[in-house]
Amino acid sequence: MTGPERRLHRALLASGLPGVWPCEYEALRTRDAQQRGVRHAARSLARMPAGYRWGVTAALRLLPTAFWALTRHQLAGTNGPALRQGLARLRRTPGYAEVLRAVTALALFGALDGTPNSTLPGTPA
């Protein structure tokens, strides 16, 4: 993993998203699928220009705080309807709507495809 990939990987884990994905997406319910999804999302996001990477990293790091500010619940300890309602509110928040949509789509693609980009022929590591 490159430096940007490592930073984004850590930011994704710190965001708490991998822990809530199983509540919403069947494809991300297994630990292996979550790991593939996080790895694919981090690798894909690491290819963005530096300014965008920094912005996404900051948004992911601040996601638990944003969730708390909107719901007064901790992201890690919330489940069921409160979690779904909180995530729905975040998805309506400018900035977070785009980040959540992009990161979740990349994670789902990684979980369903299961092939990291660096293993494809002709793809730089």
Q: What is the pLDDT of residue 70?
A: 92
Burial class (CB in 10 A: 0-12, 13-18, 19+), 8: buried
* DSSP summary character for residue 93: S
At position 98, the amino acid (one-letter code) is E
Burial class (CB in 10 A: 0-12, 13-18, 19+), 84: middle
All structural domains of the chain with their residue ranges: 3-116
Q: What is the pLDDT of residue 41?
A: 95
Contact 34, 21 (CB under 8 A): yes
At position 108, the amino acid (one-letter code) is L
- What pLDDT tens digit does each residue of the chain (125 aa) get? 789 999 999 999 999 999 999 888 999 999 999 999 999 999 999 999 999 999 999 999 999 999 999 999 998 888 888 888 999 999 999 989 999 999 999 999 999 986 555 555 555 55
pTM: 0.83
Q: What is the pLDDT of residue 123?
A: 53
